[in-house]
Chain A
Amino acid sequence: MSLGTLAAARWFEQAGNSLRRGDSRGAIDSLKRLLGVEPEHGQAHALLALALVQAKRIHAALHEAKLAVAIEPEDSFCHYALGRTLIVHGRLEAARAEFEMARTFDPEDADNELGLALVAEFAGKRADELQHLERALSLAPDSASVLARLADTWFRRGDDQRAERYARAVLEQEPDHLDALVVMGHLLLRRGQTDEAREHAFWALSNDATSTSALGLLVAVKTRTNLLLGLWWRMNTFLLRGSKNRAIVFLIGGYVLTRVGSLYTQQHGWPMASDFIDYTWLALCVYSWVGPPYFARQLQRELSQVELSKDY
């Protein structure tokens, strides 16, 4: 084996480890080095696509995933990566086709079933989702990622008992498993045990300080305890759910409505109502200006309490 190949194998392994820890930048750097030496490494392009998805660079991710499949059209992992990328682009049918293709090349890989379960979840096909998860469980009954996914699914469906059972099963195997910690945290929060939920968020963040799900849990805890922050967070998640065009439509719609309301009330001799509408809009604008730095400061204060684990 040549030195270049050895280095490539090391970078690929490093990238995989970084990605598992949630360090997408580290993974991207390792894979860029690898691809600088071996530009035709299909699995490296596929892993890069997954890292780019995690870094929210979804256009580049799609480009890399398509390259991966073009280079290695009969590789299960390349099709899996393309499927994951298509999901974030909202192309569910195409994603399903890729996961099915991946399954034909490697029928024993539970990840492909998890991918199909994800497609079913986004498509709102709850029965199909469960069917794929059960198939994944039969393929890999002890897999922490499968059990964690089941915990998350049952949590979303409101079956807290089952969710807790699966989450605990994962944590018995891997006490630092991020997804299981997050689900446990949300379960505790649902029960009103805010402090315990915060501890789970800190625990998860100590293993991966950039995890969006762990940060999401911490934010959920903060929004429970801080009304202003909660309001800001809910408004943002509402506006940014789905596409960015939705946020634009709501912002412009809000502007037009308040402007028309203000003009109408003014023309009909209700100056106080007109002033009220104008000041409400102004307050919202000021709040949207002040909100993000305030939110960031609150979150930073919480994050400063996180002690990173030695392995991170």
Chain B
Amino acid sequence: MAAYQIVDEPSQTPLSQLMTNPFWAVLATMLGGVWLGWSWFVLNSLAIGSMHRKKEIATVVLGLLGSMGLTLLGLWAVQQGRLDAKLLPYATTLLIAWKLSISYLLQFWQTPSYELAVYFRGAARSGALLAFAGTFLRPQVLQHLPDFWALVLS
């Protein structure tokens, strides 16, 4: 008998075995940086077969563009002497807030698809180890990058 497929049911992909709870990707963003967290979100979106994957990938691209824009603005303001050294920590708070907003948004979108995927495919892998490893990977990766990219991807 042909099975009827509802539009939001996750499609099986070769990456399906790699799916994890999106919560771990948020934690990875906090501990390791967006280079880890956001690439994890993209991978997870494909692994889950999320119905919003185009929107999720577009949001990651938007997040990166926003981070680049904010970093460029901050660096320009420092070079022009418009940003006092005292105000620098406040400016970086804005950058962190931007990255967290994008991460939470991705988590909120990805979670329903993840829960459906768990319902259809069974338990998913735990991402705890990689998320916590982000703490140690962070300096290893970021120290090799130019300052601008280190700020954007941290």
Chain A residues at the B interface, C-beta cutoff of 8 Å: 28, 31-37, 39, 48, 52, 56-57, 59-60, 63-64, 244-245, 247-248, 251-252, 255-256, 259-260, 263, 267
Contacts and interface: CB of A to CB of B under 8 A. Distances in A.
Contacts of A252: 97, 100-101, 104
Given A37-B1, A263-B89, A64 B6 contact: yes
B26 to A, nearest CB: 11
Contact of A248 (B2, B89, B101): B101
B57 interface: no
Interface string B1-33: 111101111000000000000000000000000
A255 B112 contact: no
Nearest to B102: A248
B1 A263 contact: no
B116 A57 contact: yes
Contacts, number: 63
A34 B1 CA distance: 10
B108 interface: yes
A31 B3 CA distance: 10
A36 B7 contact: no
Nearest to B111: A244
Given A251-B104, A267-B86, A32 B4 contact: yes
A252 B104 CA distance: 9
24 contacts: A28-B6, A33-B1, A33-B4, A34-B4, A36-B1, A39-B4, A52-B6, A57-B6, A59-B51, A60-B6, A60-B7, A60-B8, A63-B6, A63-B7, A64-B7, A251-B100, A251-B104, A252-B104, A255-B96, A255-B97, A256-B93, A256-B94, A256-B97, A263-B90
B65 to A, nearest CB: 18
B100 A36 contact: no
A262 to B, nearest CB: 9
Nearest to B2: A36
Interface of B: 1-4, 6-9, 51, 86, 89-90, 93-94, 96-97, 100-101, 104-105, 108, 112, 116
Nearest to B100: A252
Contacts of A244: 108
Nearest to B1: A36
Given A33-B4, A263-B93, 17 more contacts: A32-B3, A33-B1, A36-B3, A39-B4, A52-B6, A57-B6, A57-B8, A59-B51, A60-B6, A247-B104, A248-B108, A251-B100, A251-B104, A252-B100, A259-B96, A260-B93, A267-B86
A39 B1 CA distance: 12
A251 B96 CA distance: 13
A256 B94 CA distance: 7
A31 B4 CA distance: 9
Contacts of B104: 247-248, 251-252
List of 3 A-B pairs having minimum Cβ-Cβ separation, nearest first: A35-B4, A60-B8, A244-B108
B6 A32 contact: yes
Most A CB within 10 A of own CB, among B3, B6, B86, B94? B6
Given A244-B108, A263-B90, A59 B97 contact: no
A236 B106 CA distance: 19
Nearest to A7: B1
Contacts of B96: 255, 259
A57 B4 CA distance: 16
A89 to B, nearest CB: 14
B6 A48 contact: yes
